[in-house]
Copies of this chain bind each other. A is one copy, B any other.
Amino acid sequence: MTLAPVLDRIDRDLDSALERLMALLRIPSISTDPAYDGEVARAADWLVEDLRSMGFDAQAHSTAGHPMVVGTAGTGAPHLLFYGHYDVQPVDPLSLWHRDPFDPAVEETDTGRVIRGRGAADDKGQLMTFVEACRAWIAVHGALPCKVTMFFEGEEESGSPSLVPWMKENPDAIRADLALICDTGLFDSETPAITTMLRGLLGEELTITGPRIDLHSGMYGGPARNPIRVLSRVLAALHDDQGRVTVPGFYDGVPEIPAEIRAQWDGLGFDADAFLGAVGLSQPAGEADRTALEMIWSRPTCEINGISGGYTGEGFKTVLPSKASAKISFRLVGTQDPHAIRKSFRRMVEEMLPPDCTASWHDHGASPASVMTTDDPAFETARRALSAEWPNLAAFIGSGGSIPVAGYIRSILGMESMLIGFGRDDDAIHSPNEKYHLSSFHRGARSWVRILDALAKG
A90 within 8 A of B: yes
- Contact across chains for B307 and A356 when beta carbons are under 8 A apart: no
A305 touches B296 (CB 8 A): no
| Docked pose: A159 CA to B314 CA in angstroms | 12
> Is there an interface contact between A90 and B311, defined as CB atoms closer than 8 Å?
yes
Check A281–B331 contact: CB distance below 8 A: no
Residues of A within 8 A of B (CB): 32-34, 89-90, 92-93, 96, 157-159, 199, 201, 203, 205, 210-226, 228-229, 231-233, 235-239, 272, 275-276, 279-287, 290, 292, 295-296, 299, 301, 303-321, 324-327, 329, 331, 354-356, 364-365, 399-402, 425, 428-433
A296 touches B219 (CB 8 A): yes
| CA–CA, A304 and B316, complex, Å | 11
Contact A310 B305 (CB under 8 A): yes
Contact A280 B158 (CB under 8 A): no
Which of A199, A313, A364 counts the most chain B CB atoms within 10 A? A313
Q: Give Cα A364–Cα B55 distance, bound, in whole angstroms.
A: 64
Nearest chain B CB to A23's CB is how many angstroms away?
Answer: 25
A329 to B311, CA, bound (A): 12
Nearest first, the 6 A-B pairs at minimum CB distance are A218-B401, A222-B295, A212-B280, A32-B315, A306-B310, A236-B236
Do A282 and B355 form a contact, CB below 8 Å, given A232-B236, A305-B311, A310-B327?
A: yes
Enumerate 18 A-B pairs (CB-CB under 8 Å) in ascending A order: A32-B313, A96-B213, A210-B280, A211-B279, A211-B281, A216-B401, A219-B401, A219-B429, A220-B279, A222-B284, A222-B287, A222-B301, A223-B281, A228-B307, A229-B236, A232-B307, A281-B356, A285-B354
A287 to chain B, nearest CB (A): 8
Q: State the copy count for this chain.
A: 2
Q: Which of B158, B218, B238, B425 contacts A315 (CB 8 A)?
A: B158
Cα of A224 to Cα of B292 in the assembled complex, Å = 9
A39 CB → nearest B CB, Å:
15
B214 engages A431 (CB within 8 Å): yes
- Identify which of A275, A329, A402 gathers the most chain B CB atoms within 10 Å of its CB: A329
B221 touches A301 (CB 8 A): yes
For the A-B complex with A219-B400, A307-B307 known, give 19 more contacts whose Cβ atoms are closer than 8 Å: A32-B313, A89-B317, A203-B318, A212-B279, A218-B402, A220-B296, A222-B285, A224-B279, A228-B326, A229-B304, A232-B304, A233-B236, A285-B356, A305-B310, A305-B319, A306-B317, A307-B310, A307-B312, A319-B431
Docked Cα-Cα span, A318 to B328, in Å, equals 9
Query: In the docked arrangement, what's the CA distance between A232 and B331, Å?
Result: 20
A208 to B313, CA, bound (A): 17
Chain B residue with Cβ nearest A232: B235
Picked from B157, B225, B303, B364, the residue with its CB within 8 Å of the CB of A221 is: B303
**Contact indicator A32/B316 (Cβ below 8 Å):** yes
With the chains together, A199 CA to B237 CA distance in Å? 32
**Contacts of A235 on B, CB cut-off 8 Å?**
228-229, 232, 236
Roughly how many angstroms separate A430 CA and B276 CA in the complex, as a whole number? 43
**Complex contacts, A211 vs chain B, CB 8 Å:** 279-281
